[in-house]
């Protein structure tokens, strides 16, 4: 059963083996996010209150003076907890941004003075726009081989693919 409890932040302990490090810049972004949107993602701890996921959110809350935070306690084995904590951090690294969808949203948020709450800066937006322009240019420059042999053909109209 997945249960979230509101607990005193002093009951929690930073993971001494946390594999992910948070910069001051990262913590400042987390603080801005929590101030703007509230605490939407609970901290995940083992039964002893050691943080498996959410060390950065914990540090941001401590700096903000927040005394109570949402926590999900898990009874995973120590090895499962290690693997889960690493995967929780690694999963974002393994994914990629869909620039076709990301850029218009960031541009819209910039117009509404909300870009600051995304973790992206004006420089990031400029870099992503250049990257996307390069992808589009490369795509447009690729030649289409109309003589490419295909494996499939429609028996009615002869269309090949």
- 26 with 80, same domain: the answer is yes
- 10 with 34, same domain: the answer is yes
- 122 with 47, same domain: the answer is no
**Phi, psi (degrees; rounded to nearest 5) at 78:** -60, -40
- Give the range of the structural domain holding residue 112, as residue numbers without chain letter: 99-141
The residue-averaged pLDDT of 45-72 equals: 96
Question: Token digits for 161?
Answer: 């693919």
- 137 with 72, same domain: the answer is no
- 40 with 90, same domain: the answer is yes
> 58 burial class (0-12, 13-18, 19+ CB within 10 angstroms)?
buried
CATH number, residue 34: 3.90.1530.10
Residues 6+ apart with CB under 8 A from 45: 12, 51, 52, 71, 72, 73, 74
- 19 with 77, same domain: the answer is yes
- 37 with 11, same domain: the answer is yes
- 32 with 88, same domain: the answer is yes
- 16 with 87, same domain: the answer is yes
Residue 152 falls inside a structural domain:
no
pLDDT of the residue at 52: 95
pLDDT of the residue at 43: 97
CA distance 50 to 44: 8
Contact (Cβ atoms closer than 8 angstroms) between residue 22 and residue 71? no
Residue that has been written with the tokens 């950065």 in this structure? 56
Number of domains in the chain: 2
Reported as a single tens digit per residue, the pLDDT across 13-55 is 999 988 889 999 999 999 999 999 998 999 999 999 999 999 9
Contact (Cβ atoms closer than 8 angstroms) between residue 30 and residue 58? no
More confident residue, 138 or 8: 8
The chain-wide mean pLDDT, for the chain, equals: 89
Say if pTM beats, i.e. exceeds, 0.95. Answer: no
- 88 with 9, same domain: the answer is yes
More confident residue, 137 or 127: 127
* Residue 151, pLDDT above cutoff 90: no
Reported as a single tens digit per residue, the pLDDT across 77-96 is 999 999 999 999 899 889 98
Residue 105 falls inside a structural domain:
yes
- 109 with 30, same domain: the answer is no
- 48 with 13, same domain: the answer is yes
Which SS3 state, helix, strand or coil, does residue 43 take?
A: strand
């Amino acid at each position: 059963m997945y249960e979230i409890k509101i607990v005193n932040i002093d009951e929690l302990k930073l993971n001494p083996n946390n594999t992910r490090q948070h910069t001051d810049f990262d913590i400042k972004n987390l603080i801005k996010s929590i101030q703007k949107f509230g605490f939407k993602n609970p901290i995940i701890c083992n039964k002893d209150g050691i943080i498996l996921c959410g060390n950065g959110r914990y540090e941001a809350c401590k700096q903000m003076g927040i005394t109570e935070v949402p926590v999900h306690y898990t009874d995973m084995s120590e090895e499962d907890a290690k693997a889960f904590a690493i995967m929780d951090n690694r999963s974002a690294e393994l994914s990629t941004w869909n620039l076709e969808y990301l850029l218009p949203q960031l541009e819209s948020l910039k117009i509404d003075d909300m870009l600051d709450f995304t973790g992206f800066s004006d420089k990031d937006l400029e870099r992503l726009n250049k990257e996307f322009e390069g992808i589009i240019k490369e795509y447009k420059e690729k030649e289409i081989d109309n003589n490419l042999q295909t494996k499939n053909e429609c028996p009615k109209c002869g269309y090949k693919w």
